[in-house]
Each structure stands twice: as structure tokens, then as C-alpha cells.
Amino acid sequence: MNTLANDTFLRALRRQPTDYTPVWLMRQAGRYLPEYNATRKRAGHFLALCKSPELACEVTLQPLERYPLDAAILFSDILTVPDAMGLGLYFAEGEGPKFERPVRDEAAVKNLAVPDPSAELRYVTDAVRTIRAALGGRVPLIGFSGSPWTLACYMVEGGGSGDFRQVKSMLYRRPDLMSRMLDVNADAVAAYLNAQLAAGAQALMIFDSWGGVLADGAYQQFSLAPMRRVLAQLERRDDEPVIVFTKGGGLWLEDIAAIGCDAVGVDWTVNLGRARALIGDRCAIQGNLDPMVLMAGADQIRAETMKTLDAFGASAPGVGHVFNLGHGISQFTPPDSVAVLVETVHAYSRSLRQREGSMSLL
């Protein structure tokens, strides 16, 4: 395992003792940073930014230059895999991602195939290598993918959706087609994440952004089982930890913890103390401040951050916590608010551990 100047994030995921609670932010390289917007403008458009390893490296490092974050995350997009399947990804101004060729019938599903990460997705693995070299062992690098179900939502809907009518109609009318698509997606995600590991990713995260729109039962079959299939195929050379995050997945924390991941990400609707009680010492927990807290003043940000740390509770052997937002950071977040958050997480969690150490001596 390569030496890191700061391995606190990895130790927390492995449920090893840490001096403080590590913190990183979902979407930490994004539009709330003026330097990111400048680089994106220079790239010309979002996909060009994603597909340039040098520019992807540049924006990945930008938040680390501003804040003492404990991990970097690869700058990319969750739709790289279906794009590599030939569905024609593009970004409509003000509308988000779209696919020219949605997958809505039997023929389209049968034509799906696992893309070769060394060919169609080479720009991503090149970015991982470039970022790892630029980091120089400063903090770990997280690789990621969308979950098989989340990718299927975009592939069938042809973009974002408010009601998921197309993908849920396929799920209920033709569960055989949905299962076939999810199998292909799971194998594609596994191959993609293995390529990121081989290129140098030191941890992985699976973003199940739309698992929470499923009914109980359907979630276990169409979201959780495909993620288990992904995890079973991962080739972790250095025991790289894997985080699984289902937005809206608070009902299924124990189910998620049982699929073989190292950490369960939780959104802001979940009480961390309750999550810890349910998961026990099976997995670390990542989360979970409401991103909108960062729209408040500094005093309120500090108070809510401390409340989140208090909710998780005391550190203990075999327990791990990584602080994060309950979802991606908003583009409207004041950059100074992030500085307050990161400083508070580090300072307050250190004070909690010192207090615990003093109590143990009594």
C-alpha cells in the first residue's frame, strides 16, 4: 500500500482509530467554486471538461487548494458508462443530461453490451493516473460510479425525471428486460471500477442516486442486488474500501450494510445515532449534514455541524465515521461556508476525542 501523508479517511472507512473525523464533500469540485467555473469555461462545455484528463485533474485538486479536506474524488460524471454504451450523451442548456437513444424496448435492451474501459473510457483511467501523480500522496483519491439502477433510470428515461414513469413502467411490465439491463449495467460498473482501481483509485463510491424512488421489495431486487453483483466482482488489490450511498435509503440501512461494502452513506433524513445502532460494527458510516445548512451563517453552520458529530456519538474500537453532506453540495453555496464546515469538523471532533481520552483516565 502506498504511503499517504494523510490516511485518516481510509482508516475511518476501515473502522480504525483516528485523531479526528475526516471530511470530504460530494460534488466538492463544482460550480460553487469560481476557479471551477473558470476552468469549465476554458474547456468549452461540461463533457469536454470530463474527457480531458488534465482539466479533470485541475478541477479535482481545486477544492484541496482551498480547504484541508481529507480525500479527493475523481472529477467525472455518473453517465460515462451509458455514454460508452453508445447512447449519445449530451447536455442540454438548463436541462441537464440527455440521451439521444433511450433504451425503451426489447431490441434496445438486447443491444446493450459492457464497454471496454481501456477503450471507450480510457479518458477516465487516464484522469485517475494524472490525479494520483498530482496528489503526490497528499490524501487518498476516491473513484466512483453510478449504481446499475441509477444508470438504468437515465438510460430509460432519456435524462432526468420527476416521476420515473418510463423506467418504472418497464420494471413492472417487463421485469425480465429490466433485469437484463441491470445485469449488463452491473457488469459494466464492475469493469469500470476495476479499471479505476488498476489506475490508482484508493477508495470507491457507488452513487445510488435514485434507489430511494423504489418501493420496498423493488429496492432490494432492482437496486441492492445489482450493487451486490458489482461488489462481488471488484478486484481490490490493497483492500480499497467501498462506500455505497442510496439517497433516500434510510429504510434499508441494514440491507445495504449486508451486501459487502465497507461504508454506508446516508442522506440528511437519517439520524446518525440510529444509523450507527442499526449497522453496528459491520460498516463505517458516511454523512450527513443537510447541504442547505451551508446557506446559513457561520454560527449556525458550526452549531449544525457539531450537532451532526454529536448525533454519531463517541468514537470506539471497530466504529468509523466519515463526515460528509447528505447529498451533493449546491452550486449556490458560499465558498467561505465550506471553510467553516471543514474547520469545525476537524476542531470539534478532535476535542471530542480528547474529552473521551480524559474521561477514560478517570
The whole-angstrom separation of Cα 279 and Cα 256 is 9
Computed over its alpha carbons, how large is the radius of gyration of the chain? 20
Please identify which of the residues 154, 192, 219, 348 carries the catalytic annotation: 154
Place of cell 423506467: 167
Q: Is 348 a catalytic residue?
A: no
Place of cell 446499475: 148
Q: Is 154 a catalytic residue?
A: yes
Nearest CA to 237 out of 16, 73, 1, 22 is that of 1
- Give the residues across from 23 on adjacent strands: 323
How many residues does this entry show for the chain?
362
Beta-sheet strands, E only, within 266-362: 284-286, 321-322
The whole-angstrom separation of Cα 190 and Cα 184 is 10
The whole-angstrom separation of Cα 21 and Cα 347 is 9
Residue 316: Cβ within 10 Å count: 12
Please identify which of the residues 15, 20, 36, 40 carries the catalytic annotation: 40
Nearest CA to 315 out of 354, 257, 263 is that of 354
Backbone angles phi, psi at 143, to 5 degrees: -95, 165
Please identify which of the residues 11, 67, 70, 77 carries the catalytic annotation: 77
Q: Is 40 a catalytic residue?
A: yes
Please identify which of the residues 31, 104, 236, 353 carries the catalytic annotation: 31
Q: Is 180 a catalytic residue?
A: no
* Nine-digit cell string for 291: 447541504
Backbone CA torsion sign across 232, 233, 236, 240:
negative
Nearest CA to 302 out of 358, 243, 351, 353 is that of 351
The string of DSSP codes covering 14-79 is TT---SS--B--TT-SSTTSHHHHHHHHHHSSHHHHHT-HHHHHHHHHHHHHHS--S-EE----TT
* Nine-digit cell string for 91: 447536455
Please identify which of the residues 11, 15, 27, 276 carries the catalytic annotation: 27
92: helix, strand or coil: strand
Q: Is 262 a catalytic residue?
A: no
The whole-angstrom separation of Cα 352 and Cα 358 is 10
Residues marked active site are found at 27, 31, 40, 77, 154
